[in-house]
Structure formats: C-alpha cells, structure tokens
Amino acid sequence: MTSQTQTPPGGSAALLQRWEQASVTTVWLRPGDWYTPAAEALVEALDARLDTSPAAYRLGQARSAAGVGITEAIDDMAVLFKAAGYETAPIRSIRALCEGWTAGNPPVLDAPQMTDAESGLGTPEYLVTRLAEVYGRASRAGEDVTATHALVIVDVSVESTDLWQRIARNAAAGEALRGAYGVGHPMARLGDGLFAVLVGRGTELGAGIAALREHIDQRARAMKGSNLMRQPPRVWIESLPATHDFASELVESLQR
C-alpha cells in the first residue's frame, strides 16, 4: 500500500518525497501509514530555514497517536535531515519530537504493559514472564537454570533530569540491544538507561556482550548523543537464583 501524500509546491515537495521514499525503505515499518500533515509541516519549516522544533513536536504527537514507537519516530526524522543534506538532526528537534511523542502517549493503567514504550523492549513484567518459561522448561527437563542461563545487565545511564534526553537514551539503547541480540530476544528496560537481557551461558556469551558494546557506540555516534549515554557502558553478568520466585525478586531489586 502506498500513502496518499499531499505535497506543497516547490522544493519542499521534492524533499517530502525523498524523505518518504528513504524512510519506508530503511527505518519505517508500515509504509501505508507514513504520511501525516505534521510531516509536511516539518518539511516546510526545514525548507524555509525556520525553527523546526514546533513542527517536530507536532510530528511526535502524530506518531504517538498512530502507535509508532519512539525509536522508529526518531530514526524517521533523522532520515529527513539526511535527505536535506544535514549530517544529523539537530538536538532541539529531537528533543521536541520526544516531548511531542510523550504528550501524545498518556500511560495506560488498566492492565500491566509488556512492551516499554520508550525503548521498544519488554517491561520488567515481561522479563519475569519469560523467566517463568525458562524455569518451567528446566524443571521438566531436570536442568539447573543457574548453570544454563544468566542475565546480562546493561547500564548506559547518565545524570540527567531532562525528559527528552531520557527518551532518546532509552530509544537508542533499545535499538542497540535489538541489533546485538535480535528482535524477539528476551530483553527488558528496568529503569532509565538500565536494561536486562536473558541469555544462555555458553561460548557465545562474550561475543554477544562485545557486539552489544559496538552497537551502543554506533547508536551514540549516529545520534551525536554520546553525552546522553554512559561511554563506555557498564555491562555485567548477573547469575540467576535457583527458583523463579527468587528470580522475580532479583528483577525487582534491579529496578530503579
């Protein structure tokens, strides 16, 4: 399906088209829902050399209302600025996008959430559920979870009270974790800049950690955001306890 893009005249029309084409072939997940009038407004502001922050804020609201994750929204906007000849999106525009996305995404309190909105990874509740599956399989097979699995804990947090910096940091770290371990791997955000990955103990454990460090460094450089993330990140292996009840307590103790 192709989007029904309504374009303004002149150079902004060509830029909007380049942005859409580049985005849907690289970072965008559902091509049919890419277009929004907020995207058009952002292109017009950029083409006119105006402050893009107000339009970026509205784009963040629109992306959130459409159910687009913050990581996808940030990556999409970065494509625009690259299409316009810039090395990266300006920090003020990223901040405005994140603030708009947050404003358009009020928390849902009716039921426990299994997906963390900022990172796109699982929530602590999701991780506890996946741990229950691991302990259940081990019990049926007569295996010892403490010998077969562990948690890799990743801390990229820095001192910051700014909402947009927190969102950008968690989005970048979530993308780095997916890049290192793959989509669908049991991972969760435990707090601002703090993540856990459920891994098997084996020869590939060290290689996974090395790949993770590389992906975090790549994301930080791509966003010009090394000051938003601890460099190098703190990474350590947390042994799992003997029972799922104790593992649940461990996950709770790691949260902040």
pLDDT digits (tens, 9 = 90+) for 160-175: 667 778 888 888 888 8
70-94: average pLDDT: 89
Write down the residue that tokens 């399906």 correspond to.
Answer: 1
pLDDT at 219: 78
| 5 inside domain | no
Nearest residue to 76 via CA among 134, 18, 115, 143: 18
Task: Clarify whether residues 97 and 128 are in a common domain.
Answer: no
Task: Clarify whether residues 15 and 99 are in a common domain.
Answer: yes
Task: Clarify whether residues 91 and 142 are in a common domain.
Answer: no
Of the three residues 69, 103, 137, the one that is the final residue of a domain is 103
Residue 179: which CATH number? 3.30.70.270
Of the three residues 49, 73, 103, the one that is the final residue of a domain is 103
| 1 inside domain | no
Question: 184-202 pLDDT, tens per residue?
Answer: 789 999 998 999 999 998 8
pLDDT at 124: 93
Among the ranges given (3-12, 90-99, 220-229), the one the predictor scored with the smallest mean pLDDT: 3-12
Residue 208's domain comprises 124-254
Question: 61-75 pLDDT, tens per residue?
Answer: 999 888 888 888 998
pLDDT at 110: 44
Task: Clarify whether residues 199 and 248 are in a common domain.
Answer: yes
pLDDT at 87: 85
Torsion 103-38-55-71 (CA) sign: positive
Q: Is 201:136 a contact under the CB 8 Å cutoff?
A: no
Among the ranges given (16-25, 126-135, 227-236), the one the predictor scored with the smallest mean pLDDT: 227-236
How many separate helices (H) and strands (E) can be counted in the chain? 10, 4
Nearest residue to 61 via CA among 100, 26, 105, 34: 100
228-252: average pLDDT: 90
Of the three residues 57, 72, 103, the one that is the final residue of a domain is 103
pTM score > 0.75 for this model? no
Burial 17-46 (b: 16+ CB within 10 A, else e): ebbbebbbeebbeeeeebbbebbbbbbbbb
| 232 inside domain | yes
| 139 inside domain | yes
| 128 inside domain | yes
Task: Clarify whether residues 32 and 96 are in a common domain.
Answer: yes
Count of domains observed in the chain: 2
pLDDT at 113: 67
Q: Cα separation of 193 and 220, whole Å?
A: 13
Name the percent of the chain lying above pLDDT 70: 89
| 118 inside domain | no
The answer to whether residue 9 scores a pLDDT higher than 50 is no
Q: Cα separation of 246 and 252, whole Å?
A: 10
Task: Clarify whether residues 158 and 97 are in a common domain.
Answer: no
